[in-house]
């Protein structure tokens, strides 16, 4: 029982970080029907940036998010300008898959040349400290990572709920055509949305870099998880992504402790397939004709 509770706590903490990574992915899909396969590479890029700021200038990796996120936002808007916008009119989803895939490769290539392929990890002073709460040991860094994820996610949902930009986004997600008719500047919304999507990835990357060792190739493992999360949650649904990420985190962690880590992602994938067969639109997705 002690083990089970410990596993659940751990799963929730790590699920929060996955939720942050996945939020950008699902947001981008919601706005422009683009699956950003480079999301994992963006997380790793964020991890490297925060690693560099920490090891050369000594900026705390969690504080460095404040610096990295705006830079990555600009990068996202740039990528959208050059690659994504050029494609949208001409062809559909499959080409965006290819473009973002090539972007991921390019990022991996640049990181390999800049940093070599050695494994890195960011180790601030608190990286290996832990607290004992009610007899359960929780690593400080995971709590910080979780809290930061929750803060950013809350800010994101406030942004979507309360601002003019947020209303434009929600209108675009629900019905792109009528949003356009109502005077929403689709291009601007897409560019900003893509930028925000990328900067959440970067923020999550800074946290990821403290918890796990990483190298330029780490994005392959990440993206498969992130894709599963957003599909399970329902493509385009922010809340769905959060719930699915927590499910993934807790599920994997519990299976790992109770059965074996060899089967933990297997179990998750099977659950994913079963759910999608009965609910192809995911847990919180809206079923639109032809869209799913």
Partner 1 sequence: MSRGRWGGVATFVALAALVGAACSSKGTNSTNTKPIVIGISLSASGDFSDPSAAAKKGYELWAKTVDAHGGIMGRQVQLKIVDDTSSPDQVVTNYQNLITKDKVDIVFGPFSTLLSAPAAKVANRYGYAFIEPAGGGPAIFDENLHNIFFVQPAPVVDSGTVFANYILSLPADQRPKTAGYPELDDPFAAPIAETVRQKFEAAGITTVFKQIYPAETAEFTTIVTKLAHASPDIVVGGTQVADAFGLVKAMISEKFSPKFLFLSNGSNDPVNFPDKIGASNVNGVFGAGDWFEDEKSPGNAEFVAAYHAAYGPGPIDSTSAEAYACGQILQAVVSKVGSLDNGKIIAALHQGSWASVEGNLSWNSVGEPQGQDLLVEWIGGKLVPVYPASVALAAPTIPKPNWAG
Partner 2 sequence: MNRLSAAGLARGGVVMCALVAFPFVFSQHWVLNMAFFVLMYAGLAQAWNLLGGYSGYISLGHVAFFGLGAYSEAILFSHIGIGSRGFLPLLVLPAIGIAVALTSVPVAWVALRTRHMTFAIVTLTLLFVVQQLAFNLRGLTHGSQGVSVPSPTFSLYERPFYLALLAIFALATLVTWHVRRDRLGLMLFAIRDDEDKARGVGVRATEAKVFTFAVSVGMTAMIGAVWAYYIGYVYPQFAIDPLVMIGSLLPVFLGGAGTVWGPVLGAFILVPAQQWLAYRYGASELYLIAYAAVFLAIILLLPRGILPSIADMVARRRDGRTTPRLPVGSAREEIAS
Contacts of residue 209, Cβ cutoff 8 Å, sequence gap at least 6: 46, 47, 48, 50, 51, 61, 120, 121, 122
CB 39 within 8 A of CB 218: no
Q: Where are the beta strands (DSSP E) in 149-224?
A: none
Does position 118 bind partner 2 by CB under 8 A? no
Q: Is 179 in the site for partner 2 (CB under 8 A)?
A: no
Among 113, 133, 155, 258, binds partner 2 (CB under 8 A): 113
Match 């559909």 to its residue by tokens: 92
Residues 195-234: x/- map of binding to partner 1 (CB under 8 A)?
-----------------xx-x-x---x-------------
Of 158, 41, 164, residue with least CA distance to 105 = 41
Nearest to 173 by CA among 41, 42, 34, 65: 34
> Nearest-CA neighbor of 33 among 85, 86, 92?
92
Binding mask of the shown chain, residues 11 to 30, with x at each position contacting partner 1 by CB under 8 A = ---x----------------
Strands 130-133 and 136-139: antiparallel
Q: How far is the CB of 11 from partner 1 (least distance, A)?
A: 9
Applying CB under 8 A, which of residues 64, 103, 122, 172 lies at the interface with partner 2? 103
Does residue 109 touch partner 1 according to CB under 8 A? yes
Q: Which stretch binds partner 2 (CB under 8 A): 43-51, 98-106, 118-126, 128-136?
A: 98-106
What x/- string results for residues 118 through 157 when contact with partner 1 is judged by CB under 8 A? xx-x-x---xxxx------x-x------------------
Q: Which residues contact 81 (CB under 8 A, 6 or more apart)?
A: 191
Which residue in the block uniquely carries the two structure tokens 């925000």? 196
In degrees, to the nearest 5, what angle opens at C-alpha 288 toward C-alphas 283 and 291? 95
Of 231, 243, 248, 255, the one binding partner 2 by CB under 8 A: 231
Of 163, 175, 178, 224, which lies in the binding site for partner 2, with binding defined by CB under 8 A? 224
| Residue among 95 and 127 whose Cβ is closer to partner 2 | 95
Radius of gyration of the chain (CA): 19
> What SS3 state is found at 110?
helix
Binding site for partner 1 (CB under 8 A): 2-3, 6-7, 10, 14, 108-109, 112, 116-119, 121, 123, 127-130, 137, 139, 212-213, 215, 217, 221, 252-253, 256-257, 260-262, 265
Binding site for partner 2 (CB under 8 A): 29, 35, 83, 86-87, 90-91, 93-95, 97-99, 101-103, 105-106, 108-110, 112-113, 220, 224, 227-228, 231, 235, 262-263, 265-266, 269-270, 272-273, 276-277, 280-282, 289-292
């Amino acid at each position: 029982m002690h083990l089970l509770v410990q596993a659940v706590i751990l799963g929730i903490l790590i699920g929060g970080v996955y939720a942050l990574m996945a939020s950008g992915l699902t947001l981008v899909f919601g706005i422009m029907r683009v699956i950003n396969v480079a999301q994992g590479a963006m997380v790793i890029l964020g991890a490297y940036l925060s690693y560099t700021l920490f090891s050369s200038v000594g900026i705390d990796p969690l504080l460095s998010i404040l610096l990295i996120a705006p830079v990555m936002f600009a990068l996202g808007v740039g990528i959208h300008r050059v690659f994504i916008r050029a494609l949208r009119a001409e062809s559909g989803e499959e080409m965006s898959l290819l473009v973002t895939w090539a972007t991921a490769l390019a990022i991996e290539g640049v990181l390999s040349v800049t940093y070599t392929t050695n494994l890195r990890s960011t180790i601030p002073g608190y990286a290996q400290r832990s607290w004992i709460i009610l007899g359960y040991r929780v690593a400080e860094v995971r709590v910080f990572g979780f809290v930061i994820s929750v803060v950013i996610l809350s800010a994101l949902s406030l942004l979507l709920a309360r601002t003019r930009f947020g209303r434009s986004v929600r209108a675009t997600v629900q019905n792109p055509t009528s949003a356009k008719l109502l005077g929403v500047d689709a291009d601007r919304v897409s560019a900003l949305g893509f930028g925000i999507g990328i900067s959440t990835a970067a923020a999550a990357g800074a946290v990821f870099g403290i918890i796990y060792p990483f190298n330029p190739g780490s994005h392959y493992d990440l993206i498969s998880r992130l894709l599963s999360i957003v599909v399970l949650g329902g493509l385009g649904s922010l809340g769905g992504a959060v719930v699915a990420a927590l499910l993934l985190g807790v599920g994997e962690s519990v299976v790992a402790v109770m059965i074996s880590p060899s089967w933990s992602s297997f179990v998750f994938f099977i659950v994913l397939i079963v759910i999608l067969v009965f609910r192809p639109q995911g847990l919180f997705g809206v079923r639109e004709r032809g869209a799913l």
